[in-house]
Structure 1
Amino acid sequence: METFKETLRKIWYILYPFLFYYAVMLIIMTIAQWAFGGDATHYVFCQLIATVFTIPSMLPFYRQGQALAGIAKQPFGISRERICHALFAAGIMACFGISLNNLISMTKLTAISMGYQQANTDFYGSTIGMEILCLAVFTPILEELVFRGILFGRLKDMLSKPFAVGISALIFAAVHVNIVQFIYALILGVVLALLMDRAGNVYASMIGHMTANFIAVVRTETHWLDFSVRGDAVSWIFSLVVLGAGIVLMWRYLSDRKKQEDKEKE
């Protein structure tokens, strides 16, 4: 039977990279806001600085986890297999991102959640170029490195895959600290963990996360999908069809792996 001390060691092994990430982000963000200003106009710029400087500090944790799991460091480059994973990830996350944004927006949650409204003010108070660079490029890289590459990877080494997916998604959702983003991040956290598990590396989930965030930024700044959140029949049908497309794509993507595993057993 596993000792209490061994259990604590495992919990610490899983959590300390996340706590380190949070501390580094908080310190750099505080310094950046002190230097450049903490108002909505400068928030995304300060977030970008904190994100860029935090990424290198998380790479050793990711590589340590990969090494302990016996996964060799993969060379950087483009291959047909990686392109296939990237396209599936982008398509799946585009569908889930659009449909979930729509469905949640057509409820009363966005109106009653002060935290969500404040987050919108902070994240969409800059230029669209700065928002894309921060929210759709560097933030997905860092968050996928931390929540899927490190947290999910370590959980999967100790728990069954369903528990690892669920716990990593729950922690990912909890850091968003408002009910609207919690629900959105919880569902997408499950999808992103499955994307990483299917691809065998963190790059696919990074591409998927970038896609969802890019669409979120562009739709907020250009209003090009406003027709789909009016709450009428067309909005609901459109959103449910897009959600269905995401589910079908996800099923197809995951079933391809099962077929491959069945062939290897023969």
Structure 2
Amino acid sequence: MLDFTKEFKEVKIIPAVFWYIFTLFIVIVIASIKGILTGDMDLLDNENLLSLISTTLFIIILLYKFRVNKDKLLLMIKDYLEKINIKEIFGVVTTQICLSMGISLLLIGIVYFLFPDILNKLLSESSVAEASSYGGLFIAMIITVICAPLMEELLFRAIIFKRISKKFNIYIGVIISSLIFGLLHIELAIIGAFIFGIACCILYLKYKNILIPMTVHFFNNLLAFLPQLDLNATTDTSPMTNNDAISSIMFGSILLLIGLSFFIRFIINNKKYLKSGFSPKLSQDNIYLN
């Protein structure tokens, strides 16, 4: 079986983080200079467009650092098409949706009973749409559905998870990389993001092909983004009540239990792949053999 966890050049964590910060810095500097010279600061104020440009540049740099070429990419795509398990992919996505929605609803209900005024203010502010035009919506969709899965899987799974696992062990690699991944998703579903990171690590180990967790990430983000597609949709900004909070806790608990049961079953069915870990890198002569 082809193993694409070892057929590309290793990329270290610190240089990868440096290039991420550097690309973001360069894009902001160029946008600032353009704004000063032209007197038009619209580009600098467009956070989504700046994020799209910097993320795209970072992905290109990572692909170069991994020494991705046409032959290896085509071979990896062929391997992906032979290995992909649609049922498992949608099972993981369903698990993540149940967990994220369950945790969010549960936390919203609990926070309401502790700090009702603060929660209603936060919910009111979050109801304001970030994208006010179809152009802005399209950019936001590209970032969320395409760029984020590409960049985050390369960074968190193919670099951070892999490097930490080799330095310590697989379990530490899974926990630390998924914890960082979760902490950088600061919305209420941060715990769901942590669990999602664990699932993607296992899929990367199981299939030895980063395109598999990228696909799961793509469908997860696509489903999460769908509610934003209607710019004309009205949002209910009425304050939450005690009954709303109780319903939120009840439905959140049910979804959380369903998601946890799916996740535990996923772990049990795939625990053997955690024991296998990463194989030593093949020599250049053996890259296309197996």
Q: TM-score, normalised by structure 2?
A: 0.63
In the alignment, which of 135, 160, 171 is matched to residue 162 of structure 1?
Answer: 171
Bigger mean CA offset, 187-196 vs 43-52:
187-196
Distance 1:33 1:115 in 2: 31
Judged with a 3 Å threshold, the aligned counterparts in structure 2 of structure 1 residues 53 and 20 are, in CA distance, closer, same or farther, namely closer
In the alignment, which of 38, 47, 50 is matched to residue 46 of structure 1?
Answer: 50
Judged with a 3 Å threshold, the aligned counterparts in structure 2 of structure 1 residues 13 and 140 are, in CA distance, closer, same or farther, namely closer
Q: Which amino acid aligns with 1:145?
A: L
Distance 2:188 2:14 in 1: 25
Contact 1:18–1:151, Cα closer than 8 Å, also in 2: no
Q: Paired residue for 1:79?
A: 81
- Cα deviation for residue 183 of structure 1 reads 5.0
Paired residues, what number?
A: 239
Contact 1:52–1:138, Cα closer than 8 Å, also in 2: yes
**Post-superposition CA distance 1:182-231 (Å, at most 9, x none):** 555444433433343344332232233233333333335657998xx974
**Post-superposition CA distance 1:125-179 (Å, at most 9, x none):** 5643332211122122111111111111111111222211222123334445x58
Q: Paired residue for 2:7?
A: none
- Cα deviation for residue 46 of structure 1 reads 1.9
Bigger mean CA offset, 196-205 vs 25-34:
25-34
Q: Which amino acid aligns with 1:95?
A: C
Distance 2:235 2:96 in 1: 16
Distance 2:175 2:106 in 1: 22
Q: Paired residue for 1:3?
A: none
Distance 1:47 1:116 in 2: 25
> Which structure has the greater CA radius of gyration?
2
The answer as to 2:264 corresponding to 1:251 is: yes
Q: Paired residue for 2:208?
A: 200
Q: Which amino acid aligns with 1:135?
A: T
Contact 2:49–2:139, Cα closer than 8 Å, also in 1: yes
The answer as to 2:19 corresponding to 1:20 is: yes
- Cα deviation for residue 57 of structure 1 reads 0.5
- Cα deviation for residue 260 of structure 1 reads 8.5
Percent identity over the alignment? 21
Secondary structure at the counterpart of residue 96 of structure 2:
helix
Contact 1:32–1:50, Cα closer than 8 Å, also in 2: no
Distance 1:118 1:29 in 2: 26
Gaps of 5+ in 2: 1-10, 35-41, 276-290
**Post-superposition CA distance 1:25-70 (Å, at most 9, x none):** 332244346655233xx22122112212221101244469xxxxxx
Contact 1:33–1:43, Cα closer than 8 Å, also in 2: no
Judged with a 3 Å threshold, the aligned counterparts in structure 2 of structure 1 residues 144 and 29 are, in CA distance, closer, same or farther, namely farther
Q: Paired residue for 1:129?
A: 138
Secondary structure at the counterpart of residue 201 of structure 1:
coil
Superposition CA RMSD, Å: 4.2
Secondary structure at the counterpart of residue 76 of structure 1:
helix
Higher helix share: 1
Distance 2:25 2:216 in 1: 26
Distance 1:63 1:117 in 2: 46
Distance 2:269 2:234 in 1: 34
Bigger mean CA offset, 153-162 vs 89-98:
89-98
Q: Which has the higher contact order (CA 8 A, sep 6+)?
A: 2
In the alignment, which of 215, 219, 229 is matched to residue 211 of structure 1?
Answer: 219
Q: TM-score, normalised by structure 1?
A: 0.68
Task: Give the alignment of 1:108-119 within 5 angstroms.
Answer: 108=111, 111=118
Q: Which amino acid aligns with 1:79?
A: L
Contact 2:103–2:191, Cα closer than 8 Å, also in 1: no
Judged with a 3 Å threshold, the aligned counterparts in structure 2 of structure 1 residues 181 and 233 are, in CA distance, closer, same or farther, namely closer
Contact 2:182–2:193, Cα closer than 8 Å, also in 1: yes
Judged with a 3 Å threshold, the aligned counterparts in structure 2 of structure 1 residues 26 and 175 are, in CA distance, closer, same or farther, namely farther
Q: Paired residue for 1:37?
A: 43
